[in-house]
Structure 1
Amino acid sequence: MRDLHIPDRPRVFVTNGLCATSHPLAAKVAIDILQAGGNAADAAISAAVLLGICEPQMTGIGGDCFALVKPAGTEKVHALNGSGRAPKALDAEALRATGHTAIPIHGAEAVTVPGAIDAFCALSERFGVLGLDQVLAPTIRYADEGVPVAQRTAFDWANDAGTLQGVARDYYLFGGSAPNVGQVFRAPKQAEILRRVAKNGRAGFYEGAVAEDMVAGLKSVGGVHTLDDFFNTKATWHDPIEADYKGTTLIEHPPNGQGATAMLMAGILSHFDLPSMDPWGVARAHLEAEAAKLAYDARNRFVADLDYVTRLDHMLAPETAAGLAALIDPTQAMENPHALSETVHKETIYLTVVDKDRMVVSLIYSVFHGFGSGIASPEFGVLFQNRGAGFTLEKDHPNEAAGGKRPMHTIIPAMLKRDGQVCTSFGVMGGAYQPNGHARMLTNLVDFGLDPQSAISAPRSFADSDGLNVERGYKAGVRQGLADLGHTLVIPDTPIGGAQMIAIDHDNGVLEGASDPRKDGCALGY
């Protein structure tokens, strides 16, 4: 039990239905949908779409989503890939010929066709029990009436406002500036789009006036997108990938997401005696940083569109994790993980909902960087993601940019199983951090026995190209110890990621929810 003298969020216990996400209005809407007769799929869609109004710098209908779904009455988990594809006319060779060595992050070249709306329609059709008109009604109302800007949202909005360009500045800025906390943001044009989707399904977005507006807006800034690219967008269903960690099964979405990276990182960490370590000490943070370097190097080599991945089995093989674990020096930070591992072969919302019948949905939804590409359509103000920045321009790489292809994605939902039953649904926001975040949540729960809220609230660290990012929650002595091992320490201005979690106590019929204090949201149930 946590020390009640130290401020933190309380653990949330309910018996019927629960939603944990990054904005309280979205959590409330999800519970309203459940109490109106909807199930977890309906509630997840309703909450997710509203988050595009509550946190437009993080997500929106111009973005992508992934979901894991466990229907009521079964323990089988389904994976829904709602990531869009590059326009058919995108040509990596042509981009290289014009001098590009990477996809321009804030250019039309980075805009893949938004896949989220088709995914929400597919999820509703297969598993929902309410109509889209009822599920989308709360967001339509809030988009028209407006939502007060919350504290973390205002912080991110100000940081990311410089990304906005052209008409996007008119839709997402207040007199040229980011809003202050408590200012009301309205998006009546998005309400109109959602009315069309509520009435006509996916055709309300991928056909007709809305699609024509999106294509025209992209073409005006050099895009090669066509109406056929939008019309042909289709979410796809898959089997998830699974890996054992000390008797707990980690369930991830298959590529093009980076769930395999989380699995590999967990596999590497399984070769060390984490429970013997201080969870917030030097040894654990060092090992996690080294495991991340190696796992992410593998990601950069292998993860791509599922139709192009060739080494997934190798990446997930136990002997690969064992070989990489053997490369870690507990006394010294590695300088070049790419060279070592040759011997062995950004902005997002997350939500999870569990209903009274124990349908479980783990859903993540994003425009990638803050405000995505920064490009919006002129008539309806659809803000486009920049997921194409996840491609590489390296020739013959499995993740090389190509027309009709899905890029490597950072966003990943997760679940855990124990004794054959789904016992936890969770996700971690924060771009590249997400696989590291999944491994940390897993080890916090399994190795250190933390409850969901403690697992989320605890301090985080993350090794990336800038060095080892260490939140201020770590003690000065730990930071010094990590520096002594050769890590370049960075204390980031922005907290590392965010997370939400629901644990299912099958024996007692209780749901436990947890929500990250780094975000504006909460866990709410009934």
Structure 2
Amino acid sequence: MTAIGFSAPHYQASEIGLAVLREGGSAIDAMIAAAAAISVLYPHMNSLAGDGFWLIHKPGEAPRAIDACGPAAGLASIEWYQYQKQTTIPGRGPLAALTVGGTLGGWQRARDIAAETQANIPLPELLAPAISLAKQGIRVTDSLAAASHKVMMEMARLEEFQRVFAPGNQLLEAGQTFTNPDLADFIAQLAHAGLDDFYRGALANDIASALTAVGSPLRLDDLHGYRAQEVAPLSVTTRLGQCFNLPAPTQGLASLLILAIYDRLFQPGWDESVRVHALIEATKQAFLVRDREVFDPRRLSERWPALLSDSHVEQLAGQVGLQALPWPQPAAPGDTVWMGCVDKNGVMVSFIQSIYWEFGSGVVIPDMGLVWNNRGVSFSLDPQHSNALAPGYKPFHTLNPAMMLLDDGRRISYGTMGGEGQPQTQAALLTRYLYDGLSLEQAISRGRWLLGRTWGDNNHDLKMEQDLVDILGDSLSARGHMIKPIPAHSELMGHAGAVVHTADGRVAAASDPRSNGAGLVGEAVGVAG
């Protein structure tokens, strides 16, 4: 197998990942190089102090999953926040920086898995492109500029954020060059000392001191105690093959339920309006289950093992009617990047990395240019809530990279950013490609919808891009859907991507026109490892 492919929401990350693959590096090598680079290219979407999740498939083996999300600090109790005179966890600032950033621990666990079959490329080589980008500068995208303007007021009192991301008291503008030399130095230290330095080395000491100084509950012991975990992926079987996703605390359950319910209902003679209606209604059923069942793994109910069973899927499918179920339900926002790839040996990766809201907590570690996540905002300070804050517990995650192994031998790595939109966009992408027969590019670019919240938006309505409204709006409205039109190819719909590997070794890759991304394919010519 020599065909290779990479998809990322920024073309430079795709180019960096493909270059590693072309030289013979593993899919995991390539993903780490791209993940480091995209933390520089898309600093509003992700950070090396954020979280990550992996799905890894080696041909002939079962897919493997890595949970690289961090738990709440040992000090982060409901009582501690009440002592700070808080009734809810603040969205920005030091009190929002309450969970360990797990993504670098996930990189290390992935490298351990890669090393079982192929020597890893040294970190200095993998991280060199990210270091160069941070030093020499990136071109500010429209997305980064819009996020910079949006958070201006929220971040006004965070001096280090202002110093790094509003240099000279000027907001970032599309087209300008933005440098982050402190982040370059931080990544260079990782390359020199190893990823574990973030948790148990000199970097950890400096990070813990900085977080303590600004008032975060995180301490050195929290970093020392963290290690990413390999976990058993969730799966569900459809008429076309087996779908895989991440278990709790992610919403991977919801993504799989949507596909399973739709597969149970699907009839080839449906027109597009019925197909979209069925996907929207399947989403509602899946979200009701998700909101009732998905929490820290230690809080899962006795119902958990049966939630993807045939009988439960059949029950949920039976609740989908010809008319729209009244909505909305509570939802959660999120900021994320998804990337996927396949290497010369057919190893496939689906990967997500996130800081939750744009620019996370806004807390930037001095001399590192590193933005801390605010994933802990999704905890509740109500002790009776099923997602109640507790030291060492993990918050609910919207993140869920996906993969499918088809009965015809094809394999698909796919995913998106976009909070509530992630399961819905995954379903739209996959069903259009597999059930409707669209090309990968068409499946991603065609007009989409989103029920509930996405990144940068807190409304619970049914958003639909205008090009799709023009085609399906009347028929869906007749079924009771209350549609809010938004412009075509809106970034609110997320940044989707996919990589397909066929049984005979061919590769296709695509990325969302709503992003700055690229789906690239090529041939491996090197012999790394």
TM-score, normalized by length of structure 2? 0.89
Which of 14, 28, 50 is the matching residue for 1:41?
28
Correspondence 1:298-377 to 2 at 5 A: 298-310=289-301, 311-335=303-327, 346-377=334-365
User: 1:83-162 maps to which residues of 2 (within 5 A)?
Assistant: 83-95=69-81, 102-111=88-97, 112-128=99-115, 129-162=120-153
Q: What is the distance in 2 between the residues matched to 1:203 and 1:477?
A: 52
CA contact (8 A) 2:418 2:494 kept: yes
Question: Is residue 7 of structure 2 the alignment partner of residue 20 of structure 1?
Answer: yes
Contact residue 86 and residue 402 of structure 1 kept, 8 A: yes
CA distance in 1, matches of 2:268, 2:237: 17
Which residue in 1 is equivalent to 2:278?
287
RMSD: 2.4
Q: 1:267 aligns with which of 239, 260, 264?
A: 260
Letter in 1 for 2:185: E
The answer as to whether partners of 2:211 and 2:219 remain within 8 angstroms in 1 is no
SS in 2 for 1:79: strand
2:205 to 189, 197, 212: 212
Task: Find the aligned partners of 2:6 and 2:24 in 1 and give their Cα distance.
Answer: 15
1:391 counterpart letter in structure 2: F
CA gap 1:314/1:108 in 2 versus in 1, 3 angstroms: farther
- Larger mean Cα displacement after TM superposition, 98-107 or 355-364: 98-107
Moved more, 375-384 or 362-371: 375-384
1:462 aligns with 2:453: no
Q: Counterparts of 1:347 and 1:487 in 2: how far apart (Å)?
A: 27
Is residue 2:406 matched to residue 1:432? no
Q: C-alpha displacement at 1:163, in angstroms? A: 4.2
Gaps of 5+ in 2: 453-458, 523-529
1:162 to 1:431, Cα distance in 2 relative to 1, 3 A: farther
Deviation of the 1:512 alpha carbon: 0.6
Greater CA deviation, 85-94 or 311-320? 311-320
The alpha-carbon distance between structure 1 residues 445 and 525, as it changes in their structure 2 partners (threshold 3 A), is closer
CA offsets, 1:262-284, max 9 Å, x none?
A: 111222223323533333x2x33
Q: Report the alpha carbon displacement of residue 104 of structure 1 after superposing the two structures with TM.
A: 2.2
Q: State the shift of 1:140 in Å.
A: 1.1
- Aligned partner of residue 265 in structure 1, secondary structure: helix
1:393 corresponds to? 381
- Counterpart of 1:472 (choices 462, 466, 470) is 466
Correspondence for 1:524: 520
Identity %: 29
Distance 1:515 1:312 in 2: 34
Q: Once the 2 structures are TM-superposed, how far is the Cα of residue 166 of structure 1 from its aligned partner?
A: 2.7
Q: What is the CA-CA distance between 1:63 and the residue it aligns to?
A: 0.6
Q: Does the Cα contact within 8 Å between 1:286 and 1:333 map onto a contact in 2?
A: no
Check the 8 A contact 2:410/2:503 in 1, yes or no.
no
Q: Deviations over 1:446-489 (max 9, x none)?
A: 32122211111111112115211111221336324433433332
Deviation string, structure 1 residues 67-90 (Cα, Å, up to 9, x no partner): 11113x533211011111110111
Instruction: For residue 276 of structure 1, give the secondary structure of its aligned residue in structure 2.
Output: coil
| Stretch moving more, 53-62 or 300-309 | 300-309
Select which of 34, 46, 70 maps to 2:57: 70
Whole-Å Cα distance in 2 between the matches of residues 485 and 336 of structure 1? 16
Amino acid at match of 1:515: S
Matched to 2:66, the amino acid is L
Shift in Å at residue 302 of structure 1?
1.0
Contact 2:466 2:485 in 1 (8 A): yes
SS at match of 2:467: coil
Aligned-residue offset at 1:132: 1.1
